[in-house]
């Protein structure tokens, strides 16, 4: 059965479907030895030979993992500063996977990894509105007025940052604990929201993506997502 070339590349784990488009336009992809630069071109995976930069591209078994990312590691395969990475926690045969979105070095919690570019796109592109839930431990008091402001939106370095929902779990003494639901996934979004109000996040944990919760998954451990969970995330 014929499929679009960018869909085939995404399903082979090259990149998301959107990210595969400039790769095709650049002429790096060949089908049966001929460069293909036309978006929307179709191939028959069982018959056609596809290469990227001269290397064969084959359809892969799709993998979907949930990882409890620890604090103090990065989401890249390698780090120029020699810091630990999430791939140090995985079997070597799964080092070709890539993270679905990221958590920064100091953050922890639920992270998905996959070789399915379409799955990654559906969970990270703002138009799909997949909710991510975070629990932030913050220095100082956080009142209801501030939470309402987060739901209206705040500005930081020219970006409008907005929580779909913000609620206080606890407050009192030197710290507050706040739960926020976000859908856009901008760079360091939660930390920047609090920074815009002069507050510092001491600990940040992502506890849920879509309907999938971190649950009892221990720090540094991973598990495969079930077919039902994958279907739920894509619905």
Rounded to 10°, the helix 117-124/227-234 angle is 50
Predicted local distance difference test score (pLDDT) of residue 201: 97
State how far the Cα of 101 lies from the Cα of 67, in Å rounded to an integer: 12
Predicted local distance difference test score (pLDDT) of residue 181: 98
Region 177-200 average pLDDT: 95
Pair of tokens at residue 105: 């070095």
Predicted local distance difference test score (pLDDT) of residue 55: 92
Active site residues: 104
State how far the Cα of 163 lies from the Cα of 146, in Å rounded to an integer: 11
Predicted local distance difference test score (pLDDT) of residue 136: 98
Predicted local distance difference test score (pLDDT) of residue 180: 98
Share of the chain above pLDDT 70, in %: 100
State how far the Cα of 204 lies from the Cα of 206, in Å rounded to an integer: 7
Q: Label residue 62 by pLDDT band (50, 70, 90).
A: confident
**Who contacts 227 (Cβ-Cβ below 8 Å, separation ≥6)?**
none
Q: For 56-133, where are the alpha helices, taking DSSP H only?
A: 117-124
The domain defined by 64-126+212-234 carries CATH number 3.30.70.260: no
Phi-psi label, residue 29: left if phi above 0, alpha if psi -120 to 50, beta otherwise: beta
List the domain boundaries for the chain.
3-56, 64-126+212-234, 131-209
Question: Would you state the CATH architecture of domain 3-56?
Answer: Roll (3.10)
**pLDDT at residue 116 greater than cutoff 90:** no
Q: Label residue 78 by pLDDT band (50, 70, 90).
A: confident
**pLDDT at residue 1 greater than cutoff 80:** no
State how far the Cα of 23 lies from the Cα of 107, in Å rounded to an integer: 32
Residue 207, classed as helix, strand or coil, is: strand
Pair of tokens at residue 155: 């500005």
Q: Label residue 113 by pLDDT band (50, 70, 90).
A: very high
State how far the Cα of 37 lies from the Cα of 30, in Å rounded to an integer: 9
Query: Measuring CA to CA, how many Å separate 35 from each of 15, 52, 86?
Result: 19, 10, 35
State how far the Cα of 53 lies from the Cα of 138, in Å rounded to an integer: 47
Predicted local distance difference test score (pLDDT) of residue 100: 94
Predicted local distance difference test score (pLDDT) of residue 152: 97
Cα 95 off chain centre by: 16
Region 47-73 average pLDDT: 91
- 8 near 25, Cβ under 8 Å? no
How many residues are listed for the chain in this entry? Answer: 235
> What is the overall mean pLDDT for the chain?
92
Predicted local distance difference test score (pLDDT) of residue 92: 86
Q: Label residue 56 by pLDDT band (50, 70, 90).
A: very high
The domain defined by 131-209 carries CATH number 1.20.1440.130: no
pLDDT tens digits for 222-233?
999 999 999 999
């Amino acid at each position: 059965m014929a499929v679009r070339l960018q869909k085939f590349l995404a399903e082979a784990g090259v990149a998301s479907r959107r990210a595969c488009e400039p790769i095709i336009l650049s002429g790096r992809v060949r089908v049966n030895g001929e460069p293909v630069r036309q978006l929307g071109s179709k191939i028959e995976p069982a018959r056609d030979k596809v290469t990227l930069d001269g290397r064969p591209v084959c359809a892969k078994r799709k993998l979907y993992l949930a990882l409890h990312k620890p604090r103090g590691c990065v989401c890249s395969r390698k780090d120029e500063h020699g810091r630990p990475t999430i791939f140090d926690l995985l079997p070597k045969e799964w080092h070709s996977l890539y993270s679905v979105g990221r958590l920064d070095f100091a953050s922890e919690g639920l992270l998905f990894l996959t070789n399915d570019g379409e799955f990654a796109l559906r969970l990270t592109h703002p138009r799909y509105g997949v909710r991510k839930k975070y629990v932030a431990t913050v220095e100082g008091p956080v009142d209801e007025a501030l939470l309402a402001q987060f739901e209206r939106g705040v500005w930081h370095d020219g970006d409008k940052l907005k929580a779909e929902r913000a609620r206080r779990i606890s407050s009192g003494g030197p710290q507050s604990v706040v739960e926020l639901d976000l859908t856009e996934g901008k760079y360091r979004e939660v930390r920047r929201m609090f920074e815009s109000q002069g507050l510092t996040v001491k600990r940040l944990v992502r506890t849920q993506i879509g309907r999938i919760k971190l649950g009892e998954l221990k720090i540094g451990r991973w598990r495969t997502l079930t077919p039902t969970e994958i279907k739920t995330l894509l619905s």
